[in-house]
Structure 1
Amino acid sequence: MGRLIKAEFRKTLSLNTWWILIIPLVLVAFWMSFAWGRITNDFADWIGSGTARIIAEQAGVSADALPVGLLSIAHGVNIAQLVPAIFGVFALAGEYNSKTITTTFLTAPNRVSALTAKMITYILWGALYGLLSFAVSALATAITVDSDRLPTGGQWLAAFGATVLAYILVTLFGIGFGAVLNKVVLAVILLIGYFLIVENVLVIAMWNTTDVLGAILPNSTANGIVGGVAAEAFGIDSINLPGGVEHWDKLGLQLSAGAPGLISWWAAALVFLAWTLVFFVGGWASNQRRDIT
């Protein structure tokens, strides 16, 4: 297994994909966090009035001392997590496209060993992308957010851990999604379109009817892993919001944490893990039977 994992790393490092994708990852994570870092300083003023004041008082904290920097981090890493998802698409679909999958399967004892080595390799890649994304978002946040509004030590660690977990899961999700479709271009277009547009429009359009979609659909739950850490600091998840909060105020508050309809971070992680398993197992099963000639 060690040799198979080493071969997978050599394979990915021999291509330009891994470092080309770092460019949009860094740019998106930095500038989204930079923009939200600016916004969150104004948010701290807004949170001292209206609905937000009720939540702040219920949490027993001063508006000026709220760690609004967590919102900046959440938005940066959440948008940038599309990058490892796209990277994951190339794991299997890319090999079928380039015809290298034949060598991969024929040089391994069996397909299960080859796919397991690939899974382990891309878990490590996902963690590396998560580390880089968090570092860039944290830098942008530290630059733009006042020191008394930055996360505490424990909150920094929680956001970091949630980021790495989310990036590992979205990478595996991308592998499964690409493996099921088995077409790189189609998988990438559908991923970007669904994660950035389709689901967000659907959740907001259906908000008056139901707010549960954000707690069960893949994009929102992927965002809810890091967003849930930010929401926990403010008490703005679906469970903890006080009953007097208006329906659309609830949406606005949850969007500020990066995930409409979000629940707790661990619940979001479990739901998105279920989505990841659906596609990953589906892709795994289809590749046990797929012709490589």
Structure 2
Amino acid sequence: MGNLIKAEFRKTLSLNTWWVLLFPLVVLSFGLTYVWGKITNDFVGFIGSDTARDLARPLGLNPDAFPVGLLAIAHGVNIAQLVPALFGIFALAGEYRSRTITTTFLTAPNRISALTAKMLTYIVWGALYGLVSFGVAALATLASVDSERLPTGPQWLAALGGTVLASILVTLFGIGFGAVLRNVTLAVVLLLVWFLIIENVLVIATWNLTSVLGGILPNGTANGIVGGIAADAFGINTLNLPGGVDRWSQLGLQLAAGAPGVFSWWASALIFFGWTMVFFAFGWVGNQRRDIT
């Protein structure tokens, strides 16, 4: 297994994909975090003084001292995590496109070993992308948010852990998604259209009926890991909303955290892990049976 993992790293490092994707990762994570930090820095003005007092009271916080840096980080890393998802798509679907999958399977004892080595290798890559994403988001937060509104020490650590976890899971999700489709272009287009457009439209269009979709669909649960940490800090997750908050105010507040419909960060992590395993399992089973000639 060790030799297979080394081979996977050498294969990845021999291509330009890993470092080319760092550019959009850094731009998205820093840029969106900085912009959202500037917008929400005056959080009381952003949501209104009455709503701010209603949120602050059960948390025992001063409305002017909300840790809005968490909101900024959540927005930046949530969009940026599309990059490791795309990187994951190239892991297996890219090998089918370049026809290197034959060599990969034939040089391993069996396909299970080859795919396990690939999974372990891309867990490391996902963690590295998560660290970079959080690092630049943290810099953008420090540059755009007043010091009294920055996260506390434990909140910084929680956001770091959530970002790395989310990045690993979306990378594995991308591998499974690409493995099921075996077509890089189709997989990239479908993933971007679903994550950026279709799911968001579905969540908002059905919001007046239910907020459940945002808490169980893939994009919502991926966003809900770091977004849920922010929502928990503000007391605005779906399971812990303060009294008097109507459904559309709930949507606005949870959008501020980048995760409409979020239950909690740990619930989002578990549900998205389920989505990841579903696609990974289908991709795994499919690649055991497919002819590679």
TM category, shorter: over 0.9
Q: Secondary structure at the match of 2:239?
A: coil
Mapped to 1, the partners of 2:213 and 2:19 lie a distance apart of 35
* 1:48 to partner: Cα distance: 6.0
Structure 2 residues not aligned, in runs of 5+: none
Deviations 1:22-65 (A, max 9, x none): 11000000000010110121224445612232111121100121
Letter in 1 for 2:187: A
Single out whichever of 177-186 and 46-55 deviates more from structure 2: 46-55
CA RMSD in angstroms comes to: 0.9
Task: Tell whether the 8 Å contact from 2:43 to 2:66 is kept in structure 1 after alignment.
Answer: no
* 1:209 to partner: Cα distance: 1.1
Mapped to 1, the partners of 2:30 and 2:242 lie a distance apart of 33
Single out whichever of 23-32 and 240-249 deviates more from structure 2: 240-249
* 1:160 to partner: Cα distance: 0.2
**Any residues of structure 2 matched to 1:31-180 within 5 Å, and which?**
31-47=31-47, 49-180=49-180
Q: Alignment length, in residue pairs?
A: 293
Structure 1 residue runs of 4 or more that deviate by more than 4 Å after TM superposition: none
Structure 1 residues not aligned, in runs of 5+: none
1:246 aligns with 2:246: yes
Deviations 1:131-170 (A, max 9, x none): 0000000000000100110001100000000000000000
**Any residues of structure 2 matched to 1:145-224 within 5 Å, and which?**
145-224=145-224
Mapped to 1, the partners of 2:192 and 2:3 lie a distance apart of 34
Q: Percent identity?
A: 73
* 1:232 to partner: Cα distance: 1.0
Task: Tell whether the 8 Å contact from 1:47 to 1:53 is kept in structure 2 after alignment.
Answer: no
Letter in 2 for 1:247: R
Mapped to 2, the partners of 1:48 and 1:35 lie a distance apart of 20
Q: Secondary structure at the match of 2:238?
A: coil
Letter in 1 for 2:276: T
Mapped to 1, the partners of 2:46 and 2:174 lie a distance apart of 38
Mapped to 2, the partners of 1:46 and 1:110 lie a distance apart of 56
Task: Tell whether the 8 Å contact from 1:48 to 1:56 is kept in structure 2 after alignment.
Answer: no
Task: Tell whether the 8 Å contact from 2:84 to 2:129 is kept in structure 1 after alignment.
Answer: yes
Task: Tell whether the 8 Å contact from 2:52 to 2:63 is kept in structure 1 after alignment.
Answer: no
Mapped to 2, the partners of 1:15 and 1:91 lie a distance apart of 11
Normalised by the length of structure 2, the TM-score is 0.98
Deviations 1:88-116 (A, max 9, x none): 00111100110000000010111000000
Normalised by the length of structure 1, the TM-score is 0.98
